[in-house]
């Protein structure tokens, strides 16, 4: 059944190239964020889905160009320039690295290859999908992906599939970009505001309350992963979402429910924190209170030594071993510090400006009459909260090639462009 659905998606994307060229990139992005080819891997055997949909997307862009269906206004945005600068600096830092020989869990070729694909599909998608129909489909993709992964995580607990756990923590989706449970938990954090805020915009009461039912299950899923960074991101994202909801009953219910969830389900997180403190206080242990603080300090040391282009893409471990001989090689555990140490201060500044641009865009739209357009208002708030949650999680993880982030940037850009066509947005 799933294999038939895959083949149908290929056929629909192909036969829609002339009339609806935006379908192919939407399917590609849906596959990217859902990792469906890793969930139902048997259905994709013999079908290079990513290559097919990428090729159809490029062909669709060419057809759309001849039909004047490519929205070139979407390319006139500072966010695009900043993304290109980050990409260029990552490539240059690899080329001019002072460490031509290095060791790393993920090689620079892998990271740059992933960024090549991300950048190409990002620019193809914003040109073809800058329309309201695509925006609605993107929302559906995020909501359905989040709902499925809520089921995926909780099913392991309720069916007692303990083989999917390691040291009491749920493992991520095997052989996917979400293989690490900490990374996978970020998907829940970013998807949560799209579920919760929908209550204030949906007219169908069954959908309104139906989505709310999944919120406690989403919390439980994140607890199963045991990611402290994700829990902090969830807390901030939830409080922001509650701030924008207008129902006092729902607001109090969410806040009280989250507090109860922390008290009853947060034991694993507390145990991890307690064991970290115990290890650090042990007189026979050399472990620091928080190893991440040590890694961040080393990252700043690397940046000070190689400020312009960093130590080179994916050279953090090698550079740390060179600058701190005798110690075990360190990893960054922080997206901005990783970019700064590996790719230089300018790359890190550009990345921070991308995040700042999302915040500035949110405030700018909030000051306009966007409330008169529920769809754009909903997306503006939900995407801002989603990226805020991602940003908090990125303080503890290296997520330069985390594709859901770039998909969220696409949504932010499309929503901004569509909203600006309805009313004048002051720059």
**Domain range list for the chain:** 1-70, 75-427
**Average pLDDT over the chain, rounded to an integer:** 91
Give CA–CA dist 82/352, Å, rounded: 9
User: pLDDT value at position 283?
Assistant: 44
User: pLDDT value at position 369?
Assistant: 84
Give CA–CA dist 380/420, Å, rounded: 12
Give CA–CA dist 215/236, Å, rounded: 15
How much is the average pLDDT of 318-344? 91
* Pairing outcome for strands 169-170 and 165-166: antiparallel
Give CA–CA dist 83/94, Å, rounded: 17
How much is the average pLDDT of 306-327? 92
pLDDT tier, 89 (very low <50, low <70, confident <90, very high otherwise): very high
Check: pTM over 0.85? Answer yes or no.
yes
**Would you say residue 15 has pLDDT above 60?**
yes
User: pLDDT value at position 284?
Assistant: 44
User: pLDDT value at position 105?
Assistant: 87
The residue among 371, 369, 360 whose CA lies nearest residue 412 is 360
How much is the average pLDDT of 270-285? 48
Give every CB contact of residue 225 below 8 A, 6+ residues apart in sequence. 153, 169, 170, 172, 181, 182, 184, 185
Q: Which residue has the higher pLDDT, 211 or 263?
A: 211
pLDDT tier, 77 (very low <50, low <70, confident <90, very high otherwise): very high
Structure tokens given for 52: 């097919």
Residues 238-272: tens digit of each pLDDT: 999 999 998 889 999 999 999 998 888 765 565 55
């Amino acid at each position: 059944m799933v294999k038939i659905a895959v083949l149908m998606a290929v056929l629909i994307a192909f036969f829609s190239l002339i009339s609806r060229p935006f379908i192919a990139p939407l399917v590609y992005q849906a596959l990217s964020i859902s990792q469906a080819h890793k969930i139902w891997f048997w259905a994709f055997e013999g079908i290079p889905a990513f290559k097919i949909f990428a090729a159809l997307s490029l062909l669709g862009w060419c057809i759309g160009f001849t039909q004047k269906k490519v929205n070139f206004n979407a390319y006139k945005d500072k966010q695009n320039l900043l993304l290109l600068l980050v990409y260029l600096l990552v490539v240059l830092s690899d080329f001019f690295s002072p460490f031509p020989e290095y060791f790393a869990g993920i090689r620079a070729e892998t990271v740059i290859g992933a960024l090549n694909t991300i950048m190409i599909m990002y620019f193809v998608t914003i040109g073809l999908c800058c329309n309201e129909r695509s925006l609605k489909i993107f929302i559906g993709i995020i909501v359905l992906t989040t709902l499925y992964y809520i089921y995926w995580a909780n099913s392991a607990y309720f069916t007692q599939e303990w083989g999917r756990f390691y040291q009491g923590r749920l493992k991520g989706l095997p052989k996917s970009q979400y293989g690490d449970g900490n990374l996978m938990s970020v998907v829940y954090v970013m998807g949560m505001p799209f579920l919760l805020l929908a209550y204030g915009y949906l007219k169908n009461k069954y959908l309104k309350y139906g989505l709310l039912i999944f919120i406690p299950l989403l919390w439980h899923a994140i607890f199963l992963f045991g990611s402290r960074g994700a829990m902090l991101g969830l807390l901030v994202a939830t409080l922001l979402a509650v701030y924008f909801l207008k129902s006092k009953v729902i607001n109090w219910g969410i806040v009280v429910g989250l507090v109860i969830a922390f008290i009853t389900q947060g034991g694993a997180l507390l145990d991890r924190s307690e064991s970290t403190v115990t290890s650090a206080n042990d007189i026979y242990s050399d472990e620091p209170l928080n190893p991440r603080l040590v890694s961040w300090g080393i990252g700043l040391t690397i940046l000070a030594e190689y400020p312009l282009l960093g130590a080179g893409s994916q050279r953090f471990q090698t550079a740390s071993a060179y600058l701190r001989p005798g110690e075990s090689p360190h990893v960054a555990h922080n997206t901005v510090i990783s970019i700064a140490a590996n790719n230089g201060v300018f790359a890190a500044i550009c990345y921070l400006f991308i995040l700042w641009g999302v915040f500035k865009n949110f405030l700018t739209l909030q000051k306009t009459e966007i409330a008169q357009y529920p769809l754009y208002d909903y997306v503006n708030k939900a995407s801002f909260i989603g990226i805020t949650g991602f940003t908090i999680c990125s303080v503890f993880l290296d997520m330069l090639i985390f594709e859901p982030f770039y998909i969220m940037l696409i949504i932010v850009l499309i929503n901004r462009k569509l909203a600006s066509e309805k009313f004048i947005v002051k720059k």
